[in-house]
Amino acid sequence: MIVLSRRGPRNVRGVVIPWDGSTVGDWAKSLEDSLAVVNLAGKSINCRPTAANRIEVVRSRVASVQAVGEAIRRCRRPPRIVVQTSAVGIYGDAGDRVCDESTPPGGGSLSETCRQWEKAFEEIATPGVRRVVVRLGVVLGREGGAFPPLAGLARWFLGGSVGRGRQYTSWLHLADAVRIYRDTIDRDDFRGLYVAVSPQPATNAQFMRELRAALHRPWSPPVPLGPFA
């Protein structure tokens, strides 16, 4: 396995190659005759709501898709599959409405970010390469995903609901997310768009209440809606 990373070598299995996340370099050679390319690149939305950060959240996603597409185009023997990440944020705040692969994008900054993300993938040409888009829910793992920062807030007695807390959190465990990506690679019948979430969504208020209880923390006051809602 080859990992392209802006952060340099980390505790990962495989070879780590530096990449700025937006340009095509020597790393493109590693795609030649590969089994699969999985694109997870993009600036975290867990950042200050400055105008520059909002622009970079979108730019980093679109640029990474375009760079991967160009690298695949240069291959004489391209990878067999490219798996592109997106997010269920594309639906916006849908309330208690059930959303699936056919549900159109909603409104708001997150929705527009995801819409541009997926549009960039639609526009790259990858002839003969199987294509899959995975719309991830909120990924939770003890050492990865959204859990560590949320748990950190709760431990500091800041784990209140966001706004009125009625917005739903469609989540999945990190191990399940990894298994889904592996299935998209291993199974030739996986093509097109998939929504990757658990079957038990929770409102933000319910989720934060359970998190505080698990960490033995008391009630905490609500916080304002985030800038990327």
**Could you read off the pLDDT tens digit of each residue along the chain, which spans 229 residues?**
899 988 765 667 778 898 999 999 999 999 999 999 999 999 998 888 889 999 999 999 999 999 999 999 999 999 999 999 999 999 998 988 999 999 999 999 999 999 999 999 999 999 999 999 999 999 999 888 899 999 999 999 999 999 889 999 999 999 999 999 999 999 999 999 999 999 999 999 999 999 999 999 999 999 887 655 5
Collapsed DSSP state (helix, strand, coil) of residue 172? strand
CATH superfamily of 2-137+176-197: NAD(P)-binding Rossmann-like Domain (3.40.50.720)
pTM > 0.75: yes or no: yes
Please tell me the distance from the alpha carbon of residue 159 to that of residue 221, in angstroms, as a whole number: 8
The sign of the CA dihedral 33, 87, 43, 181 is negative
Among 106, 77, 104, residue whose Cα is nearest residue 94: 106
How many Cβ atoms sit within 10 Å of the Cβ of residue 118? 21
pLDDT (0 to 100) of residue 213:
95
pLDDT (0 to 100) of residue 227:
55
Please tell me the distance from the alpha carbon of residue 134 to that of residue 85, in angstroms, as a whole number: 5
DSSP string, 62-89: HHHHHHHHHHHHT-SS--SEEEEEEEGG
- HEC string for 32-66: CCCCEEEECCCCCCCCCCCHHHHHHHHHHHHHHHH
pLDDT (0 to 100) of residue 112:
95
pLDDT (0 to 100) of residue 201:
94
Which is it for strands 168-169 and 202-203: parallel, antiparallel or unpaired?
A: antiparallel
pLDDT (0 to 100) of residue 111:
95
* Residue 48, C-beta contacts closer than 8 angstroms, at least 6 positions apart: none
pLDDT (0 to 100) of residue 199:
93
